[in-house]
């Protein structure tokens, strides 16, 4: 039961990536649009004061801001797409249809029951307009719930087919037929139950808010600590995109969640409401500064004969962490060989958020330095206090460095470059492995593709041992029939894997940003379609 529950949570966590990874793109483009319309920047750079650039910036921000006000449908379609085992396009289309059915069913039920409030009295009523339909304000939770429902029904009935005259009602059409009564019943039930649920959510957000710095620390601590399970997305997503992370009104519209409030603030620089966020996305301290100090400590504590190799391995990982906010190549280098360091890393990550909260900085850099520049500079120093963020980051660089160095040497931890047994060397990338990864996407390297795919299959215990293949941002996610057949040395030394995480039948093989190419290579070798996991 525990393994099954963990499997379900990991699949859901992975599915959340589909909508979540799109939202920062919208936020970045909103920030770019705001650069061309920000009065402070225009005052400093007069060449921006012209109809073309100001018009472009206004259109760009206005075009993308509705994404933040329609998160429900985005999460509904994205989660259904992510959880569908096959025919994902049909699942996404059905999710969109199901979302509309639910909205109009709830609206009609509220109307029949006389529960609809006047359209000019929505504020504070618990109701809102969603895609032009007045319903209960379920926020992004509505999309999450409906996405899961659609995916479950889709996976159960997508293979249903009929004969003769009923043949056209099979497959995705039958899924939609089954969904209609489920969605109507869900709309009616939600109309009666959701006000109670919303009260509980508001109470939880209030508890976290009243917990002050402890709540902030717990958020940052758990967001890092759960990385090995792949469930850390379940920690930050509700706070960034639901009322748990705060509620604020910007430009006459109500926004829920720390990230949404931040994006809205970017689009409307005339207001200053960032302090209304219970939690904000300050995770970049450990990514941009802390882990760099950790890498310096690991380099300086490496054996002298290994330092050149360690430097070649760590520098690309440091650059990726600082610029793009991808930390797993570094974290997996010490997560399993020195769990104490990973626990320390999670603790320091939480403390860095507390430090920013105490000093009143609301700057963010969730995906590295590029995000930091685009999100914070347009808002100015007064609102974000981004120089404080830089100062705190520098302090935590030294904290990470000295503490990591002390613990590594005091406990003689076998971090990268300190291994006694060279055959069990912990590593991130070698040049040869990097070339293998590049070859996975090169059409001129057919023989190398075949060799790499063959080696991965060998490391996973053979083709028959691989039940399902999937991936997230940096990991190959697999379901394995017999996990004890996995050859970790083969996967690490011959395919470039940085870590292998096993939890029963669920196995994660960490490759980094090239994981998409690795998955495609593996599926091509096995002759499996990425749209189907059979």
Count other Cβ atoms within 10 Å, centred on residue 53: 16
Return the H-helix or E-strand segment holding 456: helix 446-459
Q: In the numeric block, which tokens belong to residue 523?
A: 């599926």
- 257 Cβ contact partners less than 8 Å away, ≥ 6 residues apart: 140, 239, 240, 241, 242, 243, 244, 245, 246
Return the H-helix or E-strand segment holding 506: strand 506-510
- 234 Cβ contact partners less than 8 Å away, ≥ 6 residues apart: 9, 12, 13, 16, 226
Closest-CA residue to 93 (of 71, 78, 72) = 78
Burial class of residue 223 (count of CB atoms within 10 Å of its CB; 0-12, 13-18, 19+): buried
Catalytic residue among 472, 486, 501, 518: 472
What region, left, alpha or beta, does residue 417 occupy, with left being phi > 0 and alpha being psi -120 to 50 degrees?
A: left
What region, left, alpha or beta, does residue 507 occupy, with left being phi > 0 and alpha being psi -120 to 50 degrees?
A: beta
Tell me how far apart the alpha carbons of residues 524 and 291 are, in angstroms, rounded to a whole number.
36
Per the CB < 8 A criterion, the answer to whether 498 and 430 are in contact is no
Residue 118 Cα distances to 136, 249, 446, 507, angstroms: 13, 19, 65, 52
Q: In the numeric block, which tokens belong to residue 383?
A: 């609102």
Q: In the numeric block, which tokens belong to residue 363?
A: 């700057």
Which runs of consecutive H residues, i.e. helices, occur in 161-250?
172-211, 213-225, 233-241
42: number of CA atoms within 13 Å, CB side?
14
Burial class of residue 269 (count of CB atoms within 10 Å of its CB; 0-12, 13-18, 19+): middle
Residue 472 catalytic? yes
Return the H-helix or E-strand segment holding 77: helix 71-83
Return the H-helix or E-strand segment holding 250: strand 247-250
Only one residue has tokens 């259904």, namely 80
**CA angle centred on 409, ends 291 and 393, rounded to 5°:** 25
Per the CB < 8 A criterion, the answer to whether 372 and 364 are in contact is yes
Tell me how far apart the alpha carbons of residues 334 and 338 are, in angstroms, rounded to a whole number.
5
Query: What amino acid positions are annotated as catalytic residues?
Result: 472
């Amino acid at each position: 039961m525990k393994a099954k529950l963990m499997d379900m949570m990991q699949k859901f966590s992975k599915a959340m990536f589909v909508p979540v990874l799109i939202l920062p793109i919208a936020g970045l483009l909103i920030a770019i649009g705001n650069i061309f319309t920000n009065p402070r920047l225009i005052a400093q750079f007069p060449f921006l004061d012209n109809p073309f650039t100001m018009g472009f910036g206004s259109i760009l921000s206005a075009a993308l801001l509705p994404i933040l006000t329609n998160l429900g449908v985005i999460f509904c379609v994205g989660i259904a797409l992510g959880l569908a085992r096959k025919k994902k396009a049909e699942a996404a289309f059905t999710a969109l249809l199901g979302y509309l059915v639910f909205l109009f069913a709830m609206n009609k039920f509220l109307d029949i029951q006389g529960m609809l409030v006047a359209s000019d009295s929505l504020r504070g009523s618990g109701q809102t307009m969603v895609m032009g339909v007045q319903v209960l304000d379920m926020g992004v939770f509505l999309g999450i719930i409906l996405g899961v429902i659609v995916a479950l029904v889709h996976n159960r009935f997508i293979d249903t087919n009929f004969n003769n005259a009923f043949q056209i009602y099979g497959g995705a059409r039958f899924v939609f037929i089954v969904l209609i009564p489920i969605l109507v019943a869900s709309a009616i039930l939600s109309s009666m139950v959701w006000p109670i649920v919303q009260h509980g959510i508001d109470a939880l957000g209030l508890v976290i808010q009243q917990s002050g710095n402890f709540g902030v620390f717990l958020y940052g601590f758990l967001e890092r600590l759960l990385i090995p399970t792949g469930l850390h997305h379940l920690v930050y997503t509700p706070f960034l995109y639901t009322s748990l992370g705060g509620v604020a009104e910007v430009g006459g519209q109500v926004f829920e969640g720390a990230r949404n409030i931040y994006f809205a603030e970017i689009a409307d620089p005339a207001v200053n409401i960032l302090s209304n966020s219970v939690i904000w996305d300050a995770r970049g301290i450990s990514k941009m500064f802390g882990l760099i100090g950790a890498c310096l400590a690991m380099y300086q504590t490496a054996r002298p004969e290994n330092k050149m190799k360690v430097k070649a391995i760590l520098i690309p990982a440091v650059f990726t962490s600082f610029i793009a906010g991808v930390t797993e190549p570094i974290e997996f280098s010490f997560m399993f060989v020195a769990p104490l360091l990973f626990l320390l890393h999670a603790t320091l990550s939480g403390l860095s958020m507390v430090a920013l909260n105490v000093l009143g900085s609301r700057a963010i850099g969730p995906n590295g330095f590029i995000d930091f520049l685009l999100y914070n500079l347009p808002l100015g120093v007064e609102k974000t206090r981004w120089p404080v963020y830089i100062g705190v980051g520098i302090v935590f660089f030294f904290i990470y460095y000295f503490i990591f160095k002390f613990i590594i040497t005091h406990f003689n931890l076998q971090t990268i470059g300190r291994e006694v047994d060279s055959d069990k060397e912990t590593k991130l990338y070698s040049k040869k492995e990097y070339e293998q990864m590049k070859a996975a996407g090169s059409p001129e390297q057919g023989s190398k593709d075949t060799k790499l795919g063959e080696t991965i299959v060998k490391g996973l215990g053979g083709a028959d041992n691989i039940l399902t293949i999937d991936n997230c941002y940096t990991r190959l996610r697999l379901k394995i029939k017999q996990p004890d057949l996995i050859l970790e040395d083969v996967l690490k030394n011959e395919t470039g894997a940085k870590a292998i995480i096993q939890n029963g039948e669920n196995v994660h093989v960490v490759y980094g940003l090239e994981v998409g190419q690795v998955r495609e290579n593996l599926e091509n070798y096995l002759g499996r379609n990425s749209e189907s996991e059979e």
